[in-house]
């Protein structure tokens, strides 16, 4: 990979910004091209073939910027389409599942690990399969949390209803006696204060973003040649305004510019048409 090529990151919405933030901390000179497929949010309730088609279109778009690698910063896409995308494209594509599982294995003491995820990720069995491959003696308890992504995307985090919903999702995991919880969706770290309040300090939380960035570091050339501050680009297939509002807040008032790009559902290379730019 060439040092001056950017990195691509995509998610169904703003959740992948947790990965962007971690990338900035570890690789401040790397340019990021981010795509949030907010027009098709949430991925968790969609058909697997749709998710695969979206992933292909998004990566084709990112390749227009000559990205050297792509992070599928979406657990749903990672669990459903990663193997297809890795076969389809000639660049490294890194998913979220295996790095998260490795971190969970390191952290757990009682070998009882919980995973909160979208319905599609939970139904895919991806976490159970990966734990079985890497540490068969660890018991994994996967809980679907379909309302979490809409709550984050709508900015409804510190609401009473959010705490009530979170308690109902987390109760089975508490009853299972987990000592480690994996965020099986990049949107979920936004809910860390809520989840920490409910689970207390006894349960260790795993944000896969850090683990994914560490995996990426082995692929990057870090020869220090890039000295200029990179210009990061952000694209959204749906509402630019909501992406901008949430992204600006989460990225510590970074001077964010979000451009709208429409995604056609047919998976054709020419199915992307840029429409407008924001703020």
Active site members: 74, 185
Asked if 235 contacts 253 with a C-beta cutoff of 8 angstroms, the reply is no
| Cβ atoms of residues 44 and 149 within 8 Å | yes
Cβ(51)–Cβ(267) below 8 Å = no
Cβ neighbors of 188 (< 8 A, separation 6 or more) are: 15, 116, 145, 148, 152, 195
- Count Cβ atoms below 10 Å from residue 125 Cβ, excluding itself: 12
Strand (E) positions, 166-244? 180-184, 204-206, 233-236
How many whole angstroms separate alpha carbon 46 and alpha carbon 266?
Answer: 15
Instruction: Determine contact, residues 230/254, Cβ cutoff 8 Å.
Output: no
Q: Which residue in 250, 247, 234, 278 sits closest to 34, CA to CA?
A: 234
How far is 111 from 178, CA to CA, in rounded Å?
8
Asked whether 255 and 229 are in contact (CB, 8 A), the reply is no
Question: Tokens 């309040």 belong to which residue?
Answer: 197
C-alpha distances (whole Å) from 209 to each of 138, 172, 182, 188, 252 are: 22, 25, 11, 11, 17
Q: Does the N-terminal peptide bond of residue 103 adopt cis geometry, omega within 30 degrees of 0?
A: no
């Amino acid at each position: 990979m060439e040092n001056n090529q950017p990195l691509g990151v995509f998610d169904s919405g703003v959740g992948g910004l947790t990965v962007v933030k971690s990338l900035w901390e570890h690789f401040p000179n790397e340019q990021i091209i981010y795509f949030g497929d907010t027009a098709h949010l949430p991925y968790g309730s969609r058909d697997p073939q749709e998710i695969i088609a979206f992933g292909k279109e998004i990566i084709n778009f990112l390749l227009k910027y000559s990205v050297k690698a792509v992070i599928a910063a979406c657990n749903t896409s990672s669990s459903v389409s990663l193997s297809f995308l890795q076969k389809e494209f000639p660049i490294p594509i890194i998913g979220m599942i295996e790095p998260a599982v490795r971190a969970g294995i390191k952290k757990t003491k009682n070998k009882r690990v919980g995973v909160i995820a979208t319905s599609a990720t939970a139904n895919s069995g991806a976490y159970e399969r990966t734990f079985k491959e890497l540490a068969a003696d660890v018991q994994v308890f996967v809980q679907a949390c379909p309302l979490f992504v809409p709550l984050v995307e709508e900015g409804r985090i510190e609401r009473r209803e959010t705490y009530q919903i979170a308690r109902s999702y987390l109760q089975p995991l508490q009853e299972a006696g987990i000592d480690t919880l994996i965020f099986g969706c990049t949107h979920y770290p936004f809910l860390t204060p809520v989840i920490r309040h409910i689970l207390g300090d006894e349960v260790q939380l795993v944000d896969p973003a850090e683990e994914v960035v560490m995996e990426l570091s082995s692929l990057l050339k870090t020869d220090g040649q890039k000295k200029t501050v990179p210009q990061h680009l952000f694209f959204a297939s749906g509402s630019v305004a909501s992406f901008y509002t949430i992204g600006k807040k989460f990225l510590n008032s970074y001077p964010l510019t979000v451009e709208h790009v429409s995604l056609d559902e047919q998976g054709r290379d020419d199915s992307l048409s840029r429409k407008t730019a924001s703020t």
